[in-house]
Structure 1
Amino acid sequence: MDHQTRIEAASKFLLQAPPGEINDVLNDVRMIINDDGSLQEGILPVLHEYNVTQFITTEVPGVEHQVIISNASKVSQEEGFDQDTSRFVDPQSSKSFAFDHLRLEASDLQPFEFFAETEPLRTALQTATTNYVKDHFHDAVSAVLPSPLASSSSEEGPKKFIIQIVGNKYNPSNFWAGRWRSSYTLDTESGELTGKIDVTVHYYEQGNVQLASSHAPSISLRASLASSCTQPSNAIKILALIGDVEKKYQESLADAYHLMGDKTFKNLRRALPLTRQKIDWDKVTGYKLGAELNASRTGLNPSD
């Protein structure tokens, strides 16, 4: 396998890294490539894709809350920044910052002024989303951004707003990790609210099982709410609809997990061996198979 092929293979591994384990995967592929210079150059675009897709959160100097890294928060080139610098916006502090996708570090804070006429609606949606997250998530980060990411210097204000939520739960001592990502787009012209929910869970105690689930809800707004969705006072109602959708999806996931435990996994393998007793792996040589394996290794007949 040539060097470029190994880089491409490493990139695929990184894109499939479970929540919170990107550094572990990176360290593993680093040993395979054995060339830090070319590895860094080859995987930087992949790390960028992984970070924005997975809604990686980062700490920003001088800001108490964490910030979501995503395509929606990325400052476009026409806003006066070089696309290669990967500048992003923190909507809660109204600051833009440069982000290092390899070190996961933010720097170079600068003020960012949103489009003034639509800012009351965006602020109301952010407040409602922040309160919703506090009430329904153990530990999560949220962001509300205009689409396109219009600043005060834009000639025309945004017509859409993107609501993002990401919740991470890492428990390496018990060999599992999970991530909840949800993103909703409010179209103020059509009065439509569409979204996508992605859930990834990784269990790796004495095995390696990763569950990836996705759901794309389309939330129906009442005619009165659809026609007045630009009013900041309706932000709480919009988040209430999102809450109903997410609650139903969480309940459906719980039902699916229960079904998998009761039926799916049992159909894949025997719950117990034919002896109806669990195997004590510390005493495996006491079983016939263990005795045969041991005999083959030592050259003895297991019946001797």
Structure 2
Amino acid sequence: MNPSERIDAACSFLLQSPPGEINDVLNDVRNIISDDDSLHEGVLPALKEYNLTQFMTVDVPGSDHQAIISEAARVAATQEGQERFIDPRSKTSFLFDHLSLEASDSQPAEPDADSEPFRAALEKAALTYLSAHFHDGVAAVFAAKDSTNKFTLQVVANKYNPANYWAGRWRSEYTIDLNENTVRGKILVNVHYYEQGNVQLSTSHNVSLSLPTAVVTASPSASTSKILALIEDEEGKYQTSLNDTYQEMGEKTFKGLRRALPVTKQKIDWDRALGPYKLGQELASSKGMFGNS
């Protein structure tokens, strides 16, 4: 395998990294490349893509909360090729290093005066929702660059438990368009269980909601509270569907694959064999992995 093929393989591994394990994967692929300078240069585009799509979180300089690194948060690139991201909550922008996962050079960033009242109200409602349903989650609301009536709401919650060999990430993203009276988005869930095996779950769910005219024309506070109530209902239904799916898998699907007697001539202890799949039930429980209910 030539150096270029090794870099491509390393990038592929990085993009498939389970939640919270990208540094472990990066350390492992160092053995494939055996050249740190080439590795860092070659995999940087993959690291950028991973951080943006996975909603990587970072401490905001001078603030007591975290910000989300995403396409919606990206505002500009410097002449040196570094990227700046915005944190609307603290009204600042900052540089982000995709390799060290650190923010720096925080600067004031004035919001758009026309979109800010609704954006701020939506952010307040989102933070209330976050505190009620997610443990250690992060939420951010961004005003669209091309419209004063379009907003992006993002939520990410991570749960890492390496001592018990599992990790998980919940992401949801919604575009609220007040011109079209719609909320469109998606929910993405990733789970990795690796005790005496390697089981990964990656699933997504699309959301499309219509907003009644009364909701759009209400005050920003009333309107955004109703929008979050609709999102809460949609995420609750999806969580219930995940729980039902895992219940059926545990009770029917996997047991249906068994032999009458395995090679050991002993009956399978399904309480032990189904351990990895019980993690999925934890994911969908109200206070399981992410605290969503």
TM-score tier, shorter chain, comes to: 0.7 to 0.9
User: What percent identity do the matched residue pairs reach?
Assistant: 56
Structure 2 counterpart of 1:225, from 215, 218, 241: 215
Distance (whole Å) between structure 2 residues aligned to residue 198 and residue 187 of structure 1 = 21
What does residue 172 of structure 1 align with? 162
SS of equivalent residue, structure 1 residue 143: strand
* Contact persistence 1:95–1:110 (CA under 8 A): yes
Distance (whole Å) between structure 2 residues aligned to residue 72 and residue 82 of structure 1 = 21
What does residue 34 of structure 2 align with? 34
Tell me which of the two structures has the higher relative contact order, counting C-alpha pairs closer than 8 angstroms and 6 or more residues apart: 2
Amino acid at match of 2:96: F
Q: Structure 1's 83 and 201: CA in aligned 2 closer, same or farther, altered over 3 A?
A: farther
Q: Across the two proteins, how many residue pairs are aligned to each other?
A: 268
Offset at residue 117 of structure 1 (A): 1.5
Offset at residue 67 of structure 1 (A): 0.9
Offset at residue 159 of structure 1 (A): 2.9
| 1:198 lines up with 2:188 in the alignment | yes
TM-score by length of 2: 0.87
Partner deviation per Cα, 1:241-273 (whole Å, 9 max, x = no partner): 000000000100111111111122223344862
* Contact persistence 2:142–2:151 (CA under 8 A): yes
* Contact persistence 1:188–1:229 (CA under 8 A): no
Q: Structure 1's 30 and 264: CA in aligned 2 closer, same or farther, altered over 3 A?
A: same
Amino acid at match of 2:65: H
Structure 2 counterpart of 1:211, from 189, 201, 213: 201
* Contact persistence 2:136–2:158 (CA under 8 A): yes
SS of equivalent residue, structure 1 residue 161: strand
Name stretches of at least 5 consecutive residues in structure 2 with no aligned partner.
Answer: 270-293
What does residue 102 of structure 1 align with? 99
SS of equivalent residue, structure 1 residue 117: coil
Distance (whole Å) between structure 1 residues aligned to residue 11 and residue 82 of structure 2 = 21
Structure 2 counterpart of 1:241, from 222, 230, 238: 230
Distance (whole Å) between structure 2 residues aligned to residue 193 and residue 36 of structure 1 = 44
Q: How does 1:71-150 map to 2 (within 5 A)?
A: 71-76=71-76, 81-82=78-79, 84-148=81-145
Q: Structure 1's 158 and 230: CA in aligned 2 closer, same or farther, altered over 3 A?
A: farther
Amino acid at match of 2:253: T
Q: Structure 1's 30 and 89: CA in aligned 2 closer, same or farther, altered over 3 A?
A: same
Distance (whole Å) between structure 1 residues aligned to residue 205 and residue 236 of structure 2 = 13
Structure 1 runs, 4 residues or longer, greater than 2 Å off: 81-84, 229-233, 267-279
SS of equivalent residue, structure 2 residue 187: strand
Distance (whole Å) between structure 1 residues aligned to residue 260 and residue 57 of structure 2 = 40
Offset at residue 71 of structure 1 (A): 0.4
Distance (whole Å) between structure 1 residues aligned to residue 231 and residue 191 of structure 2 = 22
Q: Structure 1's 209 and 87: CA in aligned 2 closer, same or farther, altered over 3 A?
A: same
Q: Structure 1's 2 and 128: CA in aligned 2 closer, same or farther, altered over 3 A?
A: same
What does residue 275 of structure 2 align with? none
Distance (whole Å) between structure 1 residues aligned to residue 178 and residue 260 of structure 2 = 54
Distance (whole Å) between structure 1 residues aligned to residue 226 and residue 18 of structure 2 = 34
Partner deviation per Cα, 1:141-178 (whole Å, 9 max, x = no partner): 00000112x7xxxxxx5331000000100000110000
Structure 2 counterpart of 1:250, from 215, 223, 239: 239
Q: Structure 1's 272 and 173: CA in aligned 2 closer, same or farther, altered over 3 A?
A: farther
* Contact persistence 1:188–1:230 (CA under 8 A): no
SS of equivalent residue, structure 1 residue 216: strand
| 1:261 lines up with 2:250 in the alignment | yes
Offset at residue 17 of structure 1 (A): 0.2
Distance (whole Å) between structure 2 residues aligned to residue 139 and residue 270 of structure 1 = 43
SS of equivalent residue, structure 1 residue 206: coil
Partner deviation per Cα, 1:213-253 (whole Å, 9 max, x = no partner): 10011012223224x26734311111110000000001001
TM-score by length of 1: 0.84
SS of equivalent residue, structure 2 residue 139: strand
* Contact persistence 2:181–2:210 (CA under 8 A): no
Q: Structure 1's 230 and 147: CA in aligned 2 closer, same or farther, altered over 3 A?
A: farther
